[in-house]
Chain A
Amino acid sequence: MIPALAVPVWRTLPWRTLGAAGAAGLLTAGLSRLPGTEPDSRLALGLLRGAALAGALGLAFLLDDPARDGTTTVPTGRAARTALRVALVAPVAALWWAAALLLVPGAHRPPAGAVTLEAGTACALALAAATVAVRHSDDPRPGRPAATAVLVTALLAPLLLPSRWALFTGPEDPRWAAAHDRWAWLLAGAVTVGVASLGEPLGHPFRRTADQPT
């Protein structure tokens, strides 16, 4: 059934939104090649983070499905449908991220593995936000609140995070390695929250037992 679903689900993905986000991300990464910009590894890192955030914002819309009202009650569960969407978009996102990395001049490119971890975490957080939004509302388009939450968090986190939990460090910073441990934890947390929100609640078993039909 999953292979049969792949093609129609591929067509239902919000490609226009994802495309806009991807283009904005590539544009952001490409800013470092603009004339007038002083090439600088700090800036390159900032731009790559911006590109990752743009991509993540696009992914926050991944679960938008105008036909949701009608497709909620089909036997193919939400977990399978969501997983399929993520699986379909993952290779595209990977290619896109590789392109973004390559757009940054090699001399100033930050360690690829570490920034990829950051980008992956950002995307996972966005998807987790979208899954949570789907779980907690009937809105067929939960992407906007999810994207807003991701955006606000991303802009405020560097300003508000205390230095001991710093995430947005530079490679020359002694906290770089520790920060990436935190990124990895964050990734694990996002995946956990995302997966935990995939299920469709059956109701409230405790209250239900009190009112069993006779």
Chain B
Amino acid sequence: MTVTVSASGLSLRYGGTRALDEVSLRLSRGVTGLLGPNGAGKTTLLRVLATAVPADRGAFTVLGHDPATARGRQELRRELGYLPQTPGFHPDFTPFAFVDYVAILKELTDRAARHREVRRVLDEADLAEVRGTRIKKLSGGMRQRVALAAALVGDPGFLVLDEPTVGLDPEQRMRFREVIARAGEDRTVLLSTHQTEDVAMLCHRVLVMAGGRIRFDGTPAELTARAAGRVWSSTGRDPGAKAGWRTGAGGFRNVGDPPEGADLLEPTLEDGYLLTLDGDPAEVTA
């Protein structure tokens, strides 16, 4: 697989906090999921890769462009689609006008071609019907899709999506997954999320971050496999479990180190994720 994005030793401090601590990664075409608890450094990593903020140390390239030079950053930005965690809007704009505005900023200067492209991404984000409605009248999910359309406009080779499915209902999330999966067919997509199902369903690779470091780098199956033999059911709360909860069926589902002869269950990606976060910080699979 060709490496499209490669980073090494990215570090960034905010005040006294180490938001990024020597992060190195290599991404290739397809959707890569980025999991991690709040404060893990996911947004910071995405902002650094999207050239919104420079790193204190380290370097990275995207599609061969090095953002350490003004020219390289310019080239990188031409290839970039970015959906920030809290996308802001000009409330009086319509989705069409807003995406058109972003398209101009992305140097799509030919008016007719640009309008065609804007209509295409609005269709892709399923916004064709509200194209002319002011953004302030749209629901949260629709606004999120406007932001996605703005990220997709101009057919970027590298797509950075920061928690795009937050606040969406299940159906909207399905639609989102479709769009993202389609985008990942021929692009590099880095998707930060709290939804382990998103990762399980969309991603060919997953990164887990905690404390500003990458704690896991592998396929979703590998992450799930980390929990193999470490999920079991019991009738009561098991004090030895790292996490345990009563399921709808009445029994307890436990994650951790099972006692002898426990009734083992099939692990999910989430179990693997929880156990990764719980594990030794030095234990990194790459």
Residues on A lying within 8 angstroms of B by beta carbon are: 1, 4-5, 8-9, 11-12, 65-77, 81, 138, 140, 200-205, 207-208, 210-214
Q: Does B275 contact A (CB under 8 A)?
A: no
Quick check: B59 and A69 within 8 Å, CB to CB? Answer: no
Quick check: B74 and A75 within 8 Å, CB to CB? Answer: yes
Nearest chain A residue, comparing its CB with the CB of B24: A213
Quick check: B52 and A213 within 8 Å, CB to CB? Answer: no
Bound complex: CA A205 to CA B66 (Å) = 13
Which B1-58 residues have a C-beta within 8 angstroms of A?
A: 6-9, 11, 24, 50-58
Q: Does B67 contact A (CB under 8 A)?
A: yes
Listed A/B pairs (24) with beta-carbon separation below 8 Å: A1-B104, A1-B109, A5-B101, A9-B101, A11-B90, A11-B93, A66-B90, A66-B91, A67-B87, A67-B89, A67-B102, A68-B88, A69-B52, A69-B85, A70-B82, A70-B88, A70-B150, A76-B104, A76-B107, A81-B105, A202-B54, A211-B9, A213-B7, A213-B58
Q: Does B211 contact A (CB under 8 A)?
A: no
Residues on B lying within 8 angstroms of A by beta carbon are: 6-9, 11, 24, 50-60, 67-70, 73-74, 77-78, 80, 82-93, 97-98, 100-102, 104-107, 109, 111, 147, 150-151
Collect the chain B residues with CB atoms within 8 Å of residue A203's CB. Answer: 54-56, 68
CB contact between B57 and one of A8, A70, A74, A204 (< 8 Å): that residue: A204
Bound complex: CA A67 to CA B92 (Å) = 12
Quick check: A212 and B59 within 8 Å, CB to CB? Answer: yes
Collect the chain A residues with CB atoms within 8 Å of residue B59's CB. Answer: 208, 211-213
Quick check: B88 and A75 within 8 Å, CB to CB? Answer: no
CB distance from B56 to the nearest CB of A (A): 6
Known pairs A9-B101, A67-B90, A77-B74; list 9 more (Cβ under 8 Å). Answer: A1-B109, A4-B109, A5-B104, A66-B89, A68-B88, A73-B77, A75-B106, A212-B59, A213-B24
Collect the chain A residues with CB atoms within 8 Å of residue B55's CB. Answer: 203
Collect the chain B residues with CB atoms within 8 Å of residue A214's CB. Answer: 8
CB contact between B70 and one of A81, A140, A202 (< 8 Å): that residue: A202
Task: Give the dominant DSSP class at A's interface.
Answer: loop
Nearest chain A residue, comparing its CB with the CB of B105: A74
Quick check: A11 and B54 within 8 Å, CB to CB? Answer: no
The 5 lowest CB-CB distance pairs between A and B, nearest first, are A203-B54, A66-B88, A213-B8, A69-B84, A8-B101
Quick check: B97 and A76 within 8 Å, CB to CB? Answer: no
Collect the chain B residues with CB atoms within 8 Å of residue A212's CB. Answer: 59
CB distance from A21 to the nearest CB of B (A): 19
Bound complex: CA A204 to CA B73 (Å) = 14
Collect the chain B residues with CB atoms within 8 Å of residue A65's CB. Answer: 88
Collect the chain A residues with CB atoms within 8 Å of residue B50's CB. Answer: 73
Collect the chain B residues with CB atoms within 8 Å of residue A138's CB. Answer: 52-53
Collect the chain B residues with CB atoms within 8 Å of residue A204's CB. Answer: 54, 56-57
Nearest chain B residue, comparing its CB with the CB of A72: B52
Quick check: B97 and A8 within 8 Å, CB to CB? Answer: yes
Collect the chain B residues with CB atoms within 8 Å of residue A68's CB. Answer: 88
Collect the chain A residues with CB atoms within 8 Å of residue B90's CB. Answer: 11-12, 66-67
Collect the chain B residues with CB atoms within 8 Å of residue A69's CB. Answer: 52, 84-88
